Amino acid sequence: MTGTCRLCERIEQPLTAHHLIPRTLHKNKRAKEVFGMALMKKTVMICQPCHSQIHALYTEKELGWNFNTIELLKAQPDVIKWIEWVRERPHWR
């Protein structure tokens, strides 16, 4: 599937589904209580370079508990820096 990345907003990119609550937390009792199954299954479509970068920057626990919306991710200084850098790169296919 191709489209616009929800993180870097580059168009016509091959997209992957990013779980806002990583699947490793789906069996966690506290996570189920706090987020509910509907939110735990929610994904956003982002390009592979952005997907790889956010998983390189943060642990699965950090992503699930602290950065579980696209807005929270976009507000992080390291992610802002990444987005500024990747927007200047040619489209990756």
Of 69, 19, 64, the C-alpha closest to 45 is 19
Q: Cα–Cα distance between 20 and 4 in angstroms, integer? A: 17
Per-residue pLDDT of the chain (93 residues; tens, 9 = 90+): 899 999 999 998 999 999 999 999 988 999 989 999 888 899 999 999 999 999 999 999 999 999 999 999 999 999 999 999 999 887 665
pLDDT, residue 89, reads: 82
3-class SS of residue 78: helix
CA max distance for the chain: 43
pLDDT, residue 47, reads: 95
Sheet hosting strand 2-3, strand order edge to edge: 2-3, 13-19, 43-47
